């Protein structure tokens, strides 16, 4: 069950000039060996339970416009969710929203550990190394994670279009998220909300706690409703709307205004 | 100036049975290529500014008695202090206590980044991987770092013999440290103090913030006055005194007493 080489994180524009480091934990719906599709049919493999549709395209559009580094997941979140601790119920969920995930119903401790070794550990080592490199170079990162959420969840429609989430470990953790929200309200007509459709209290800031909080780095988690980024054209259009929002938020925060 | 391979962390007893994972960030006074001894004479290379004398021997004695994993530094803290962020003044200090460190007075950003790539990043990746593996296996680590401190600092003698330090990021971070202190007072005649000779406010809990706090793991940083562990015999004797202290602290904490 082990994969000797593992699946390394995707890294693009590692030497980009911006302080912003974009991260896309749910970029991929790949189900490679040795796991395969975990018993899911093709529809389920393409659905939001397997990945965040549109998030990688949006993140790439932002990276190009902001000249920012981008680190993204190489496999489906159902193999190991990179934004959950290895013992979290959501790391390798046996059920996601309304669907069973047969390949995750009876995972031995050794198989869990093998997924950690092949997916979780190399991803976080790569991101940690990039963050430490940039800190050493005097270019303290601003960590921005890029996600998408489903418009209807457990039968209920979600009105929010753009959620901006921050961790809650330390005072000051909300700083960048509040600036992003303010810029979104000023510069776009998106229905934007703070800590929606969920928040740090729901356990969605694991990656920020590993990589941003220990160094006191500004951070935000962006959540875009996935019907707004449902095609490459829509991803590009959203990147064009949100890149100036991020740029303004960062400039305002750095200016101390 | 780069070292392609880097200097991997020392890892001993990776599969040990105890939840305790011992870490010795200042285990070594090795000054390997490409840095060499940074202009220090042999006396300075052997002094506490270069490493924590006695800490590795003590940690090994504890690891053997507790059946615990041990992760330790491969090079001197003056090349890169593994318990400081790469942009911290103490990471590659140009001056330590009363002594200049010539090789650290004018480090370029590229040389800082090379030290991070060769020393800091691989050490923390190895420790993070071990922690994640154990979490996946259901053996949530208890992180205990092992340090020593000099009896006289800037001319002032220190009366404390055994300091137990905890991070201050989250409520509950003090839990294990308080149990260790209580056990030390009950079981030894060491002069033991909480958060002495320094505390999280002095920036000494960087490693705990990277590896323990994000997962909510119990943790403590042990500081032993180095005149008490100044020979292999003394290291062994101290390990024999402190191993039961750690065992009792862990048992009490797990029992919820």
Encode pLDDT of A175-214 as tens digits: 999 999 999 999 999 999 999 999 999 999 999 999 999 9
CA dist., res. B224 & res. B239, Å (int): 11
State how far residue A138 is from chain B, nearest Cα, in angstroms: 7
Mutate to test the interface with B, among A136, A172, A206 (most CBs of B within 10 A): A136
Q: What is the pLDDT of residue B5?
A: 65
Q: What is the pLDDT of residue B3?
A: 42
Q: What is the pLDDT of residue B199?
A: 95
The answer on pLDDT for A245 being more than 70 is yes
The answer on pLDDT for A63 being more than 80 is yes
Among A152-156, A219-223, B63-67, B237-241, the minimum mean pLDDT is found in A152-156
User: If you measure CA to CA, which chain B residue comes closest to A137?
Assistant: B109
The answer on pLDDT for B4 being more than 90 is no
Please tell me whether residue A231 adopts helix, strand or coil conformation.
Answer: coil
**Per-residue pLDDT tens over the stretch A98-132:** 899 999 999 999 999 999 999 999 999 999 999 99
| Nearest of A132, A133, A160, A127 to residue A145 by alpha carbon | A127
DSSP lists the bridge partners of residue B162 as: B192, B224
Ranges of beta strands (E only) in B65-202 are 69-72, 95-96, 99-100, 142-149, 152-153, 156-157, 162-165, 192-194
**Per-residue pLDDT tens over the stretch B102-155:** 999 999 999 999 999 999 999 999 999 999 999 999 999 999 999 999 999 888
A113–B129 CB contact, under 8 Å: no
Which residues of chain B have a Cβ shorter than 8 Å from any chain A Cβ? 85-87, 109-110, 112-113, 115-117, 120-121, 124-125, 128-129, 132-133, 135-138, 140, 169-170, 206, 209-210, 213-215
| Of B86, B132, B206, Cβ closest to residue A120 | B132
Q: What is the pLDDT of residue A1?
A: 35
DSSP designation for B19: S
Q: How many CA atoms lie within 13 A of A179 on its CB side?
A: 23
The answer on pLDDT for A4 being more than 70 is no
Average pLDDT over residues A208-224: 98
**Per-residue pLDDT tens over the stretch B170-223:** 888 999 999 999 999 999 999 999 999 999 999 999 999 999 999 999 999 999
The answer on pLDDT for A70 being more than 50 is yes
Residue that is written with structure tokens 């991929």 in the block: A28
Mutate to test the interface with A, among B83, B132, B167, B213 (most CBs of A within 10 A): B132
| Of A112, A125, A132, Cβ closest to residue B129 | A125
Beta carbons within 8 Å of B63's beta carbon, 6+ residues apart? B12, B13, B16, B22, B69, B70
Residues of A in contact with B136 (CB under 8 A): 86-87, 109, 112-113, 115-116
State how far residue A102 is from chain B, nearest Cα, in angstroms: 19
CATH of the domain spanning A10-255: 3.40.630.40
B116–A138 CB contact, under 8 Å: no
The per-residue pLDDT of chain A, averaged, comes to: 95
Q: What is the ipTM of this complex?
A: 0.94
Domain layout of chain A by residue ranges: 10-255
CA dist., res. A61 & res. B114, Å (int): 31
**Per-residue pLDDT tens over the stretch A9-35:** 999 999 999 999 999 999 999 999 999
Q: What is the pLDDT of residue A256?
A: 72
Mutate to test the interface with A, among B92, B136, B214 (most CBs of A within 10 A): B136
Residues of A in contact with B138 (CB under 8 A): 87, 109
| Of A87, A128, A133, Cβ closest to residue B113 | A133
Helices and strands (H, E) in chain A, number of each type:
7, 11
Residues of B in contact with A170 (CB under 8 A): 169
Share of chain A above pLDDT 90, in %: 93
DSSP designation for B228: G
Beta carbons within 8 Å of A178's beta carbon, 6+ residues apart? A166, A194
The two tokens of residue B184 are 């030390």
* Phi, psi angles (nearest 5°) of residue B157: -70, 150
């Amino acid at each position: 069950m082990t994969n000797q080489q593992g699946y390394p994180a995707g890294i693009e524009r590692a030497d980009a000039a911006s302080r912003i480091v974009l991260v896309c934990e749910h970029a991929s719906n790949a189900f490679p060996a040795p796991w395969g599709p975990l018993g899911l049919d093709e529809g389920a493999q393409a659905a939001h339970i397997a990945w965040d549709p549109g998030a990688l395209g949006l993140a790439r559009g932002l990276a190009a416009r902001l000249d920012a580094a981008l680190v993204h997941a190489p496999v489906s979140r159902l193999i190991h969710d990179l934004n959950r601790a290895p013992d979290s119920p959501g790391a390798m969920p046996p059920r996601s929203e309304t669907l069973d995930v047969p390949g995750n119903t009876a995972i031995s401790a050794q198989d869990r550990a093998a997924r950690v070794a092949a997916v979780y550990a190399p991803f976080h080592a790569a991101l940690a190394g990039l963050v430490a490199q940039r800190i050493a170079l005097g270019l303290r990162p601003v960590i921005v994670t890029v996600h998408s959420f489903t418009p209807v969840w457990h039968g209920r429609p979600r009105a929010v279009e753009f959620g901006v989430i921050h961790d809650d470990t330390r005072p000051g953790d909300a700083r960048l998220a509040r600036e992003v929200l303010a810029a979104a309200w000023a510069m776009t007509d998106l229905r934007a909300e703070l800590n929606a459709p969920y928040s740090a209290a729901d356990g969605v800031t694991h990656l920020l706690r590993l990589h941003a909080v220990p160094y006191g780095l500004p951070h935000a988690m962006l959540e875009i409703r996935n019907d707004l980024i449902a095609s490459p054209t829509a991803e590009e259009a959203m990147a064009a709307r949100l890149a100036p929002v991020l740029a303004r938020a960062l400039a305002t925060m750095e200016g101390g205004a």
